[in-house]
Structure 1
Amino acid sequence: MRYIIIGAGAIGATIGGRLAEAGHEVVLAARGTHARALRADGLRLTTAEGPRVHRLPVVEGPAELGELRPDDVLLLAVKTQDAVAALDLWGAAEVAGGGTAAQRLPVLCAQNGVESQRLALRRFARVYGVCVWLPATFLEPGVVSALGTPRTGILHIGLAAGGADARARQIAADLEKAGFDAPVVEDVMRWKYAKLLGNLGNAIQATTGPEPDPAKAALLRRARREGEAVLAAAGIAYVSQAEEAAARDGRAVQPAVLRGGSSWQSLYRRTGSIEADYLNGEVCLLGRLHGVPTPVNEVLRHAANIFAREGIAPGSMSVADLTALADEAESRHR
């Protein structure tokens, strides 16, 4: 199989680089200065085993590859706000022997949140969810660091609509050989909804900084309580924190040198967008559908989007100010 990594950022580049190290054929899809750096200098990937340079094919779209191959696997690793454009572009690509990628090829959704699977299922016949636990940093074009140890990351895989199949097991076997834990599960979305609850703190970290703080932890607990309430109202199951902890225990230990998570990194790179609409915004959506107030998550979503839209540096807001906004929003719902 050839792996086409659509969105070769922190997650995509790490998975692609590790697969290449294990002997698999890999193509990286990237754009702008990142694509130019990857072409000129290679993917400079540092893992717990040390730095390596991977000189892999780099494309900006499927037209540069010609017809796709029947054995291609598409791994979607762009942020969810960029997923529709990527799915439409790659889904329309023709595959040798007839048909399009959306009709014939598998797509793996390796993103935070739960919306990308729904977007993909509208377009692709074969959609897999990937619950990603992979501490990685991407701050400079062409340069990615993923120092998780003893495994680089944990990637639960299963069919987005439920169940698992032989293709999921083959992909998982490839990922295992490449340095990941890749459990094949029948209920991958249950894992992704659990990860969603943890990711509700991304906006807190992005706006107030990644440094540990009891006030930040308290605000995350409030956001998480809202998330748990809306999932209960919607009848959506998710993995318990104990089950998550057991799966991660000693498997892909996050290094202390990690500067900030994915949302913090988006602000640092001034991408102009952030995934809060698909993390805190998912909670807000379910709250509105099921009559559950979600004022804390709405404040976090709104604040993160202002930072992204206006190019405000990550960590520029005090946790006291963010908490005060959440308090005010909650008081309006009492």
Structure 2
Amino acid sequence: MRYVIIGAGAVGGTIGGLLAEAGREVVLVARGAHLEALRSDGLHLTTEAGARVVHASTAAGPEDVDLRPGDVLVLAVKGQDTAATTEAWAGRPVAGGRTAGEDLLLVCAQNGVDNERTALRRFARVAGMCVWLPATFLEPGRVSAAGSPVPGILTLGSVPAGAPDADLAEVGADLAAAGFRAPVVEDVLAWKYAKLLSNLGNAVEALCGPIRSDDARALLADTVAEARAVLAAAGITPTDPEVERRERGDFTLVDLPGVTRRGGSSWQSLVRGAGSIEAAYLNGEIVLLGRLHGVPAPLNAALLRLAERAAARGDQPGEVDPGEIRTTATTAASA
């Protein structure tokens, strides 16, 4: 089984790097300066086990990879890039005469719950991955994961729910051999909705900086409460928080030598000046469901609007006060 990591950034780079280190065949798909660094100097990977350089095959895109039966495509791009990326890969030929969309398993190693639905438009075999992986990617060629006692917990399941894809057990075993916890569950989207609730704070962190003040904590709590009301109206039941805590067990974050982890994926998007942010597939998912089911979600709508504005303007994290977010929400709700 070969793993084609589509988007070898923080999450994809860590997963691909550890799989390669464990002896699995891996192709890291990246672009720009990151791709150049991977090709010239390898992947610099830091975990609790230490810093090292991992060498794996690289590609700039689907045209660089001769796909073959048994390949697993691991999609690790941000949600805003899922549609274009799946379109680019689905029609690629697989040795034997069929296409990637017809034959290959696509695993969505992404935040949010819309990626799998988007992927199913073009891929017959789709699995979700609920990613608990505190990874950082701020510099070309370098990624880190600050999880302990394992780098991350990667919960897998087929979409739609039901009997798991025949290859998922092997994928889980390979991820376990690479050092992750990787259980296969029946309803992975229940886990991903639960993770979505925690990811609603990504925009708060990106806009306001570390969530340490009472105002920021209160904003986050109200944002999550708003989202829970929306999910209830939509008839969606996320995995129970107590079950989540039990499954995570002793998993925690640790300090890594030479690495400063200051924020999550949306924070990192602003720091890198990526020009886009995944808030539409996190806070925006709650806004969408709220509008479909008649439940207002003004805080999530304000966070979405301000996060996308910050990304478009090239703002750095921490430039917005929590009070401004509440004012934006109140003004929009009363309009």
Q: Normalized against structure 2, the TM-score is what? A: 0.96
What is the distance in 2 between the residues matched to 1:170 and 1:101? 19
What is the distance in 2 between the residues matched to 1:165 and 1:104? 12
What is the distance in 1 between the residues matched to 2:190 and 2:211? 29
1:193–1:238 Cα contact (<8 Å) kept: yes
2:48–2:254 Cα contact (<8 Å) kept: no
- Correspondence for 2:266: 263
SS at match of 1:166: coil
SS at match of 2:203: helix
Q: CA deviation at 1:328?
A: 4.0
- Correspondence for 1:99: 98
The question of 1:128 aligning with 2:127 is answered: yes
What is the distance in 2 between the residues matched to 1:117 and 1:200? 19
What is the distance in 2 between the residues matched to 1:254 and 1:7? 23
2:211–2:217 Cα contact (<8 Å) kept: no
Q: How does 1:267-282 map to 2 (within 5 A)?
A: 267-282=270-285
SS at match of 1:245: helix
Q: 1:279-305: CA deviations, max 9, x gaps?
A: 000000001101100100000000100
What is the distance in 1 between the residues matched to 2:293 and 2:329? 21
- The sequence identity of aligned pairs, in percent, is 55
Q: 1:25-74: CA deviations, max 9, x gaps?
A: 000001111111111111101010001111211111122123x1101000
Letter in 1 for 2:22: A
The question of 1:31 aligning with 2:34 is answered: no
Letter in 2 for 1:273: S
- Correspondence for 1:205: 205
Q: CA deviation at 1:321?
A: 2.6
2:276–2:308 Cα contact (<8 Å) kept: yes
Q: Count the aligned residue pairs.
A: 330
Q: 1:217-251: CA deviations, max 9, x gaps?
A: 21111111121111111111211221111111213
Q: CA deviation at 1:326?
A: 3.3
- Correspondence for 2:83: 84
Q: CA deviation at 1:319?
A: 2.4
What is the distance in 2 between the residues matched to 1:75 and 1:308? 26
- Correspondence for 1:294: 297
Letter in 1 for 2:311: A
What is the distance in 2 between the residues matched to 1:234 and 1:159? 22
- Correspondence for 1:162: 161
What is the distance in 2 between the residues matched to 1:273 and 1:255? 29
- Correspondence for 1:7: 7
Letter in 1 for 2:326: T
- Correspondence for 2:145: 146
Unaligned runs of 5+ in 2: none
- Correspondence for 1:180: 180
Q: CA deviation at 1:329?
A: 4.2
Unaligned runs of 5+ in 1: none
What is the distance in 1 between the residues matched to 2:19 and 2:37? 20
* More moved, 207-216 vs 97-106: 207-216
What is the distance in 2 between the residues matched to 1:324 and 1:234? 27
Letter in 2 for 1:272: G
- Correspondence for 1:112: 111
The question of 1:322 aligning with 2:328 is answered: no
1:107–1:124 Cα contact (<8 Å) kept: yes
What is the distance in 1 between the residues matched to 2:72 and 2:102? 13
Q: 1:116-140: CA deviations, max 9, x gaps?
A: 0000011100000000000011000
* More moved, 234-243 vs 293-302: 234-243
- Correspondence for 2:244: 244
Q: 1:131-174: CA deviations, max 9, x gaps?
A: 00000110001110112111100010000100224311110011
Letter in 2 for 1:83: T
Of 304, 313, 317, the residue aligned with 2:316 is: 313
Letter in 1 for 2:183: P
What is the distance in 2 between the residues matched to 1:212 and 1:92? 47
- Correspondence for 1:74: 73
2:44–2:142 Cα contact (<8 Å) kept: yes
What is the distance in 1 between the residues matched to 2:214 and 2:250? 24
Q: CA deviation at 1:327?
A: 4.3
What is the distance in 1 between the residues matched to 2:198 and 2:238? 12
SS at match of 1:128: strand
* More moved, 312-321 vs 203-212: 312-321
2:299–2:325 Cα contact (<8 Å) kept: no
Letter in 1 for 2:33: T
What is the distance in 1 between the residues matched to 2:65 and 2:174? 23
SS at match of 1:181: coil
SS at match of 1:250: coil
1:296–1:329 Cα contact (<8 Å) kept: no
- Correspondence for 2:44: 44
What is the distance in 2 between the residues matched to 1:206 and 1:249? 27
